[in-house]
Amino acid sequence: MVDWHLNCLKTFQNLQKDNREIMNCQRTLASTMHCAGIGLHTGREVNLTLRPASVDTGVVFVRTDLPEAVSIRASMRTVAASAFATTLENRGVSITTVEHLLAAISGLEIDNVIAEVNAPEVPIMDGSAAPFVSLIQEVGIVEQLKPRQYLVIRKPVRIEDGGRWIEVCPCENLKVSYTVEYDHPLISRQSYHVCFPERTFAGEISPARTFGFLSDVAALQSKGFARGGSLENAVVLGDFNVLNKEGLRFPDEFVRHKILDLIGDFALLGYPLVAHVTAHKSGHEMNHRLLKEVLSREDCWEMKELPRESTQKLPRVSISHREPRERLSA
Ligand SMILES: [Zn+2]
């Protein structure tokens, strides 16, 4: 009888192991990462620490500058504002400008992480997600012992607002097609199409910086935004030129940054999306509205585990089946 139980247990453990080898598993950091910088809108100094987290934790921000630390989950349920930046809130405590960090985490296919900040805003770094990406790649990423759930779109969902729109359609992988239009000679109309295994995100999207127009700066600052903004952390456009001495990182840096923002916004779903997202002049607020619409229409999507070969068409960072050196539960 004891043998029979042992055999059953071994079979079950082998099945679990086989399942982990066949399916895409959740991922977290291999160890803790630190950085510091200033907040784009508040202009305040911020320290950021990213810690590995257990399976099914998701991304959880922790404000460590308060008498009692408050956790704020990155989720559509905690979105409090979408103007100029995404602000999340829990029990009256908020964290803002989360989108570039969330884009780095999501773009590198990390599921579980604790992000500690000692201020109400994530540091802006150089205005892109590239510093977060290289710091995360330095500490490394590990695969965890549980398959990842994907949110797979089964029917199209679209929202429109005047000449702006965004939609998700069924697709075998995550693809984003984005078009921006600005009445400025350096931007005018730009389109970009990208498929998202992680190498593409790190190389093509993560270095694209946030941007703004010199003519808007005074009005923004009078409303309390962009107080930490400078040529060090944003592309600033004059009437006919880029004011940054180093120029642009890509001729189409503007539309690439809008894709970066979209990836950060979509991380608020809590699960990687499998869909073709097409956006025309969208922004944080419209991205969030689309996600709410998707979540409210349960016939349009399903949660699924996906086998490795369906999502891994390009080489990935080396990963191993182990738990991180340091773990933290949310
Ligand atoms: Zn941005």
Residue 292 predicted with pLDDT over 70? yes
Distance 284 CA to ligand 1 centre (A): 9
Q: Which residue among the candidates 41, 276, 284, 288 is catalytic per the annotation?
A: 284
Of 114, 79, 123, the C-alpha closest to 265 is 79
Does pTM top 0.75 for this prediction? yes
pLDDT band at 316 (very low <50, low <70, confident <90, very high): very low
Taking residue 90's Cβ as centre, other Cβ atoms within 10 Å add up to 18
Q: What is the pLDDT of residue 217?
A: 75
The answer for residues whose C-beta is within 8 angstroms of residue 200's C-beta and 6 or more apart is 194, 314
User: From ligand 1's centre to the CA of 210, what distance in Å?
Assistant: 5
Find the 299 Cα to ligand 1 centroid distance in Å: 31
pLDDT at site 199: 64
Between 25 and 229, the higher pLDDT residue: 25
Question: How many C-alpha atoms does 77 have within 13 Å on its Cβ side?
Answer: 6
Res 326 pLDDT > 80? no
- What's the CA-to-centroid distance between 4 and ligand 1, angstroms? 58
Helix segments in the chain, DSSP class H: 2-22, 99-107, 130-139, 198-200, 214-222, 253-266, 284-296, 308-311
Task: Tell me: pLDDT of 2 over 70.
Answer: no
Taking the centre of ligand 1 as the mean of its atom positions, its distance from the CA of residue 97, in whole angstroms, is 8
pLDDT given for residue 310 in this prediction: 61
For the CA atoms of 94, 127, 284, 242, what is the dihedral angle to 10 degrees? 140
Confidence of residue 15 (pLDDT cuts 50, 70, 90): low
326 C-alpha to ligand 1 centroid (Å)? 30
pLDDT at 204: 94
Share of the chain above pLDDT 90, in %: 68
Residue 17 is predicted with a pLDDT of 58
CB distance 235 to 211 below 8 Å: yes
Cα-flanking dihedrals φ and ψ of residue 179, to 5°?
Answer: -130, 130
Assess whether pLDDT exceeds 90 at residue 18. no
Q: What tens digit of pLDDT does each residue of 183-194 get? A: 888 888 999 999
Q: Is 268 helix (H, G, I), strand (E, B) or coil?
A: helix
Top-confidence residue, 2 or 328? 2
Strand partners, 6: none
Instruction: List CB contacts of 67: < 8 A, sequence separation 6 or more.
Output: none
109-144 confidence digits (pLDDT tens): 999 999 999 999 999 999 999 999 999 999 999 999
When mean pLDDT is compared across 27-41, 191-205, 263-277, 302-316, the lowest value belongs to: 302-316
Distance 316 CA to ligand 1 centre (A): 25
Task: Tokens for 295, please give them.
Answer: 């979540």
Instruction: With CA atoms as reference, report the closest residue to 152 among 166, 173, 176, 175.
Output: 173
Q: What is the sign of the dihedral through the CA atoms of 212, 213, 219 and 222?
A: positive
CA of 155 to the centre of ligand 1 (A): 28
| pLDDT at 227 exceeding the cut of 50 | yes
Q: What is the pLDDT of residue 252?
A: 94
> What pLDDT was estimated at residue 311?
58
Report the C-alpha gap between 196 and 109 in whole angstroms.
10
- Protein residues placing their CB within 5 Å of the ion ligand 1: 210, 261
Residue 201 CB partners (closer than 8 Å, separation 6+)? 103, 107, 108, 133, 263
Is 258 a residue whose pLDDT tops 90?
yes
Whether the per-residue pLDDT at 320 is higher than 50: the answer is: no
**Active-site residue flag, 280:** no
CATH topology for the 25-311 domain: lpxc deacetylase, domain 1 (3.30.1700)
What does the pLDDT look like over 42-85, one tens digit per residue?
888 999 999 999 999 999 999 999 999 999 999 999 999 888 78
Q: What does the pLDDT read at residue 16? A: 56
Is the predicted pLDDT of residue 328 greater than 60, yes or no?
A: no
The residue type of 163 is G
